[in-house]
Structures are given as C-alpha cells and as structure tokens.
Amino acid sequence: MIISQQKPIEEILGYLEGESNIFLLGCKGCAEACETGGEKQVLQMKETLTKEGKNITGTCVIDFLCDKALAKTRLFAHEGKIGKADSILFMTCGIGVQATSAVLPKVCHPACNTISVGGARGEWRGEERCNECGDCLLDMTGGICPLTACTKGLINGPCGGSKDGKCEFEPDVRDCGWMLIYERLKKLNKLDNLKKIIEPKDYAKMNPPKDIRSTIMWSLEQKQVN
C-alpha cells in the first residue's frame, strides 16, 4: 500500500490561489485506506474549500488513480464538471497525480505528500515513479515528478545535458524529465512555475517515523521474519 498524508491546508490553499472553480478527485485505493482521499475526506475537503470561498464544480472518487486508462474512462462521465474547473485537486499519492494528470488537460494540484510505497511498487502498470520524498513537488512541475523523471533528480530546471529532448544518461531511450515538465507547463500556461526557485529538498522527510512507515505488507513481513 502507498502511504500518503494530507498536506497542510495552508499549502493546499496556496496552490489554489487565484483559482475559483475546483474539481476534487479522490482515490478508492490506498488513499481511502490512509484516510487521505476516500469519500469521507473528499466531502470534508469540499466543505473546507467551500468555506474558503471556492466553488467545487464536482467530486469523484475512483478506484486506483494510478491506473490512468481506467481513470480516463471513469472520468468521461465528469467531463462537463472538469471542463468548468480551473484546476483539479488530487487527494491521492504521487503516483496517482502523475498518472491521471497525464490524461487530463487541466492544472493538477497534489493534496497529499507520499510518505512510503511500503514495498508495493509493482502494483501499477504505468511508467510513473514516486520517490516517497514526503514533500510532494508535483504542483510546481505540472504533475511530472522531477526527482524521478530527471536522472539527476534536479529540482530547479534542466542541466546542460539535455539533447533533442533526451537525457545524457541514456539518450537512446530516456526522455529529459525537465523537457517533459517544460512542455507540460507550457501547455497548461504555467511556465511561470519554472521561475520560482525551489529550495533544497529536506531529505529528512524521506525517512518517516516507524508508525507511518508500517504497512500491512510490512507488518506481515515482520511477523514472518520474527
């Protein structure tokens, strides 16, 4: 299971600054179990944001936002409400944001930090990867993670090794993550995001306390070991 934690509401409101119409997207997978993106939390978020003067154009809770093909099919029914929104708030893990934002033509904000994937990396079929950094940057980067999409994990833009949109590490197969981010932000009319200096990552957040790190699989494994 992928462990997520809701970001502080101040941070979320910061993302939504200047936007009035928001669509809320929850996930019935891990995020429901973590109580960060199930029906209940989505309704709570709707209430909170409404109080803050936001108009919620719609809400939807889908099984596994990490499966973008499934999510895209399910979201067809909400096309109108999504179309009316300035942005979509994702109440799910970093994988869910990356996968489903790739098939939506809107600005996507993460409402959660991903704390741990708890050894469950093999469950989704996409190319999206999460480093469980505990301080999700996807809001700044158009839903593409710079820590995993960029070979060097750079957070302030491309290095000088990007050629024809490919990375110097494996130019035959690997895209330059920052070119993907640049293209996505350009499409979303959000290139100003690139101008903000992102402060050095707090890598201490990558090492969460044991009670958060513990997952069902992890607990079972501990039992088997002991």
Partner 1 sequence: MNLGEHFKSGKFVVSSEIGPPKGINTEAMLADADLLKGKVDAVNVTDQQSSVMRLGSFVTCHLLKERGIEPNFQVTCRDRNRIALQSDLLSAAVLGIENVLCLTGDYVSLGDHPEAKPVFDLDSVSLLQVVTALQNGKDLSGSELSGSPKFCAGAVVTPGADPLEPQIIKMEKKVKAGAQFFQTQAVYEPDKFEKFMEQVRYLNVPVMLGVVMLKSVGMARFMNKYVAGIHVPDNLIEEMEKTENKADKSIEIAARLIKEMKPMCQGVHIMAIGWEKKVPAVIDAAGL
Instruction: Rule CB under 8 A: say whether 151 interacts with partner 1.
Output: yes
Cα 150 to chain center, whole Å? 16
Measured CA to CA, the distance from residue 147 to residue 98 in angstroms comes to 12
Q: Where does the chain have alpha helices with state H?
A: 9-15, 30-33, 39-51, 68-75, 79-84, 94-101, 146-149, 177-187, 210-213, 216-225
Q: Which stretch binds partner 1 (CB under 8 A): 112-120, 131-139, 162-170, 216-224?
A: 162-170
Q: Which of 33, 70, 159, 212 binds partner 1 (CB under 8 A)?
A: 159
Measured CA to CA, the distance from residue 35 to residue 37 in angstroms comes to 6
Nearer to partner 1, 32 or 175 (CB): 175
Measured CA to CA, the distance from residue 49 to residue 226 in angstroms comes to 46
Instruction: Rule CB under 8 A: say whether 172 interacts with partner 1.
Output: no
Nearer to partner 1, 34 or 130 (CB): 130
Instruction: Rule CB under 8 A: say whether 206 interacts with partner 1.
Output: no
Measured CA to CA, the distance from residue 186 to residue 170 in angstroms comes to 25
- The position carrying tokens 């893990």 is 93
Nearer to partner 1, 38 or 158 (CB): 158
Q: Minimal distance in Å, beta carbon 113 to partner 1?
A: 20
Q: Minimal distance in Å, beta carbon 69 to partner 1?
A: 30
Q: Which stretch binds partner 1 (CB under 8 A): 44-52, 79-87, 116-124, 149-157?
A: 149-157
Q: What is the DSSP letter of 151?
A: T
Q: Which of 122, 200, 209, 210 binds partner 1 (CB under 8 A)?
A: 200
Give the C-alpha distances (Å, rounded to integers) separating 74 from 25, 77, 144: 12, 6, 22
Q: Which of 29, 178, 180, 215 binds partner 1 (CB under 8 A)?
A: 178
Residues that bind partner 1 (CB under 8 A): 151-164, 167-169, 171, 178-179, 182, 191, 194-195, 197, 199-200, 203
